[in-house]
Structure formats: C-alpha cells, structure tokens
C-alpha cells in the first residue's frame, strides 16, 4: 500500500473527507493550542487590580485611545528626561571648569566678603538707630523743663555745628523735630550718625553752659570728636573756642589732630 493510500485509509477511519480537510482541522487544533498558551500567559501577567482597571473600558477602541495617550505622555517624558540629562551634563561641566580654573573659589571668597560686608552694614545701622534713640532720650531729659535758655543755646550750637544746614530744633510732645535749611523736617532717628552726635554735643554743651552760669564749673571733654570727620571736628573745636571765652573748657585727647588745632600755650602735655 502506497503512502497516499495509507493516508486515505487513515482519513477514512477518522471520517475525514480529504487531505485538505485534515490539514484545516490540524491548523485549527494548533491555533487552539496557541490560544490556550496565550491565555495562560495572560492569566499569569494580568493581576486582579489590572483586570479591574481594564474592566473600565467596555470597548477596544476606548482602551486603544487610552494606550495611545499614555504612549504620547511617555514619549514627552522621555524627551524631557533627555533635555534634563543634557542640562545636568552641562552643569557638571561648568562646575568642573569653575573648580579647575579657581573661579569657583574666587566666587566663594567674594560671597563670603559680601556677607561680611552686609553684616557690618547691619551692625552699623543698628548702632546708628540705638545712638539716635539715646540722643533723643538725653535731649528729652535735658530739656524736660523746657528751659528757654537751654533750648535757645541748643538751636544756636546745632546750627553752628552743622554750618547752617539745620536752622531749627523743636521739642514737642511727640519728640524732637529738626528743620533743615530747605524747610524739610526730620525726626532724630532719621539723622545720620554724625549729625545725631552733633545734636547730642549741642544739647550737652547748652546744658553745661546754662548750669555753669548758675554754678560755675569747668567743662571736661574726653576725646569726644574721634568719630567726627575733619569738617565736623573743626566746627566743634570752633564752638569750644567760642564757649571758652566765658567758661573754662578742658579737652583731653591722645591724638595729634586736635592738639594741632590749639595754640601751644593752650596745650598741656600729661606724662607719667
């Protein structure tokens, strides 16, 4: 019996009509086996949570749209990641260059210097504010009885010390108001440190001169002008010279600048 005859006999036993029908049946069986394998793999990969989420989509088209949206988002995130990676690489290169050519160290030193400068400025501002408040308190105490003589001398001395930049010193219930030559008014706390010290000096001298007229006594000053600039120092010394015509003034100093402003006959050197 030939092979063909044997196949025909086998087909007859399985009630198959022809070889073509047998091959069709065979491929169907193979497909079914493949489908069962695929379904088994999917059952392994598809967790209950994933199945629950997929259950929200009743149509394949809706699910495909969602997949496309997620794919688009993923593509954008990949692009952003590439851009971020490039920027990170550029930043690392810049840091490496700065470190190698010492520019980074110089910038750190400049930053430290600026921070120290800011701290100094803050300390100076706080010192000025405190000095201004102290001046205001001393002035208020000195003129709390509103003695006309003290007020008049304070205005005169302050005008001389500021070289006519301030024309009026007014004492009110709210505090001290000072009027500049251009009619602009200031509170004590708005004055510069140098001007506030000039106001304090004017009040102190006015108070000392007024009390001295009632109870004669020398005016003792201990290097009070060390923080004055050259112009303020000269105007202060000029005021002392004017006051010394009627009051004894003794000025103590260790500096040569103030010493040179006086006549040799007015200077006494103190030695051990």
Could you read off the pLDDT of 25-37 as tens digits, one per residue? 777 777 877 877 7
Give the pLDDT confidence score for residue 192 in this predicted structure: 83
Higher pLDDT, 227 or 236: 236
In this predicted structure, the answer to whether residue 187 has a pLDDT above a threshold of 70 is yes
pLDDT at 5 > cutoff 70:
no
pLDDT band at 135 (very low <50, low <70, confident <90, very high): low
Output the pLDDT for position 38.
76
* pTM recorded for the entire structure: 0.47
pLDDT interval class at 9 (50, 70, 90): low
Residue 14 has pLDDT above 60, yes or no: no
DSSP string, the chain: --HHHHHHHHHHHTT---HHHHHHHHHHHHHHHHHHHHHHHHHHH--HHHHHHHTT--SHHHHHHHHHHHHHHHHHHHHHHHHHHHHHHHHHHHHHHHHHTTHHHHHHHHHHHHHHHHHHHHHHHHHHHHHHHHHHHHHHHHTTT--HHHHHHHHHHHHHHTTTSEEEEEEETTEEEEEETTS-EEEGGGS-HHHHHHHHHHHHHHHHHHHHHHS--PEEEESTTTTS-HHHHHHHHHHHHHHTTTS-EEEE-S-HHHHHTS-GGG------
Q: Which of 12-21, 69-78, 179-188, 192-201 has the lowest mean pLDDT?
A: 12-21
Least confident interval from 7-16, 19-28, 113-122, 218-227: 7-16
């Amino acid at each position: 019996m030939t092979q063909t005859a044997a196949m025909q006999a086998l087909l007859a036993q399985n009630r198959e009509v022809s070889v073509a029908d047998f091959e069709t049946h065979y491929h169907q069986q193979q497909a079914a086996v493949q489908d069962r394998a695929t379904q088994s793999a999917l059952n392994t990969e598809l967790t209950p949570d994933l199945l629950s989420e997929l259950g929200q989509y009743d149509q394949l088209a809706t699910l495909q749209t969602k997949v496309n949206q997620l794919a688009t988002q993923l593509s954008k995130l990949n692009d952003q990641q590439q851009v971020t990676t490039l920027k990170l690489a550029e930043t690392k290169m810049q840091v490496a260059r700065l470190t190698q050519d010492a520019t980074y160290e110089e910038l750190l030193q400049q930053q430290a210097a600026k921070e120290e400068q800011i701290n100094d400025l803050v300390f100076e501002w706080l010192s000025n504010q405190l000095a201004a408040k102290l001046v205001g308190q001393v002035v208020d105490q000195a003129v709390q009885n509103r003695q006309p003589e003290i007020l008049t001398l304070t205005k005169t001395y302050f005008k001389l010390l500021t070289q006519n930049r301030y024309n009026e010193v007014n004492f009110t219930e709210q505090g001290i108001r000072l009027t500049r030559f251009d009619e602009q008014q200031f509170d004590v706390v708005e004055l510069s440190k140098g001007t506030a010290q000039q106001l304090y000096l004017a009040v102190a001298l006015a108070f000392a001169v007024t009390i001295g007229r009632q109870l004669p006594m020398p005016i003792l000053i201990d290097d009070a002008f060390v923080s004055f600039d050259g112009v303020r120092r000269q105007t202060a010394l000029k005021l002392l010279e004017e006051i010394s015509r009627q009051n004894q003034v003794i000025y103590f100093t260790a500096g040569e600048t103030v010493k040179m402003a006086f006549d040799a006959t007015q200077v006494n050197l103190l030695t051990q």
